[in-house]
Structure 1
Amino acid sequence: MLEENCRNCKEAITGNFCPNCGQRRYKRINRAYVLEEIQDIFVDVNKGFFYSVLKILRNPGKTAREYVDGNRVDHYKPIALTFVLAGISIFVSVSLLNFNDIMRKYTEQQHINSKFMSDIFTVISSYYAILMIFLLPVFAFITRIPFKKLGHNYYEHIVMNSYVVSYYTIVSLIVMYPILFLFRQNPEKMMLVSQSTFLILPFILMWFFKGFYNQIPLKKIIVKILAVLALTLLTYILVVVVSTIAFILYGVFVDKAVLEYAKPK
């Protein structure tokens, strides 16, 4: 293979990649190049998107541990993966399941006549995948507290939780959404199925952290997961209380229209 200079840093390249910056040897962008890129990202089961999805389905904790420990060349970047999966999830829930309209019908059936509460239900149900991504820093803070002595820092916990969110989203796409599609004409049953899926989260966390810390006894993992759930509940209560107080204060002193928005009709 002939030597050439890297188009990025000008370092001499004798192989397929620059030894200085890691950029691939120059290839002109043509049909073959584009097809190769698509294959690398989505089609090749030995690396990239589908490779990571399959690895996560088999054992999310073990897959996350491999990535955190440095085995990353074949893996789709975990945080990027959560965004891709969230985009797929939102497309399915909004465009195919038409969750927005279904949730409005549900709130009408439940006599929830506050536009604010109706909108909250709709946003959470339709866009939960993207909400979970924005909450990754919070999840990481919560999980790090019980697992702190095991040596992983806050940012590693962000990556770990991105794998948990990815696994939950994949399971939802494969299992929950087909069931929701069957009940799309019955908003109450759809809401029941949708809410019940959150009950599997403790078991997902248990399986994940047992796979990640396979040297730790299961009983110890369970205790730490219970601590995570307790901290999550406390955080939720705190956020609800603070948000409610802030909402009321804003309505009283800044814009009274927001109180009308929340008031039942």
Structure 2
Amino acid sequence: PTAPPIQPGSAAIVQVNDALFDTEACLNCHALLAGPFCAQCGQKKAARMGTSTVRKEAWERFRWFEWSTIRNALRVLPQPGTMAREYVLGRRKDHPHPLTLLCLAIGFLLIVLGYTDYLRPELPSEEAQRMYALVTGYSKWSFSLGAVAAFVSMWLVFRRFGYNAAELLALALYCQAVFIALQMVNQLPLVLAHSPALLKWHKAWSPWYMTGLQTLMFMVALRQFFMLGLRHDGWRLLLAGAVFAALKWQATQWYARAVVELVLWQMAG
């Protein structure tokens, strides 16, 4: 026997709270539960996301080389907000854990970046080469700024929609995985075409159009997650997108300055 499926409502009506998870039905397939695991789909009874839940589920479900993980991860690309919403609402068996997905994306990004070592310039001294290596090493981790900007902008604009910090963080991590996928696609021309002219153009324009693409994808994810209508909630999407773009751009500038100061300090030592 199955329980009636949970019908998603609009973001303005549906409130995420502990009562949503206090049910005898599986939140993944809606079958009635007779124990801690669903007899129909095998998912463990879902609890509301929190700090301990995120840590425990990440440890239980972290698998590097499962094809199902990769297959499910690919489903995030066109609909990160929908999958994050379903994951937060309890459908977790068929969706990758946000941290697992993020680690998988980072792994692939580092592989792609490894193929761009030919971009390393010829430097006149060993000291200059060391400085360049330090700057490059720290700069590779600047992609994490997108998740921070996404979380802060969501918290500022949508914190009254009933989702707690862990649930908003799940959406931010799903978005960050998509941002990394976009970054990998953006790096492919540099991997395939060893062209100084292309490299010069890429360095000049990539920060601008990538910020625009990430902002657009972020707004799409927000609309999917909060089930927003363009007519009534378009201003919220535009506001969140503007806050995200501004925060990410400013955070990137601060990060770059911090990297320079840190490298200069290391070189002086």
Fold match by TM threshold 0.5: yes
Preserved CA contact (<8 Å) 1:103 1:121: no
Please state if 1:50 is matched with 2:58: no
The aligned residue for residue 161 of structure 1 is 172
Aligned residue pair count:
206
Alpha-carbon distance in structure 2 between the residues aligned to 1:91 and 1:41: 15
Aligned 8 A contact 1:206 1:225 in 2: yes
Specify the structure having the higher radius of gyration (Cα): 1
Match of 2:240 in 1: 224
Runs of 5+ consecutive residues of structure 2 not aligned to the other structure:
1-33, 43-62
- Tell me the distance in 1 between the aligned counterparts of 2:70 and 2:193: 30
Q: Which residue of 201, 207, 222 maps to 1:209?
A: 222
TM-score, normalised by the number of residues in structure 2:
0.60
* Aligned AA (1:50): R
- Find 2:111's aligned residue among 76, 91, 104: 91
Alpha-carbon separation, structure 1, partners of 2:158 and 2:169: 13
Per-residue displacement from partner, 1:92-119 (whole Å, max 9, x unpaired)? 211x232xx51445xx69xxx9668734
| Between structures 1 and 2, the one with greater helix share | 1
Which fold has the larger relative contact order, with Cα–Cα distance below 8 Å and residues 6 or more apart in sequence?
2
* 1:63 paired residue number: 83
Q: Which amino acid in structure 1 is aligned with residue 109 of structure 2?
A: S
**Which consecutive residues of structure 1, in runs of 5 or more, have no partner in the other structure?**
1-17, 25-38, 252-256
Distance in 2 separating the partners of 1:185 and 1:168: 25
2:102 is paired with a residue whose SS is helix
Q: Which residue of 1 aligns with 2:119?
A: 102
Paired-residue identity, %: 16
Distance in 2, Cα, partners of 1:71 & 1:155 = 16
Contact 1:85 1:170 in 2 (8 A): yes
Deviation per CA, 1:60-91, whole angstroms, max 9, x where unpaired?
A: 11111111111111112111111111111101
Q: Normalized against structure 1, the TM-score is what?
A: 0.61
Matched with 2:97 is 77
What is the CA deviation profile of residues 1-50 of structure 1, one whole-angstrom value per residue up to 9, with x for unaligned ones?
Answer: xxxxxxxxxxxxxxxxx94589x8xxxxxxxxxxxxxx996434xxx331
Shift of 1:164: 0.8
2:137 aligned residue: 123
Instruction: Specify the code of the residue in structure 1 equivalent to 2:98.
Output: P
Report if the CA contact (8 A) 1:61-1:208 is conserved.
Answer: yes
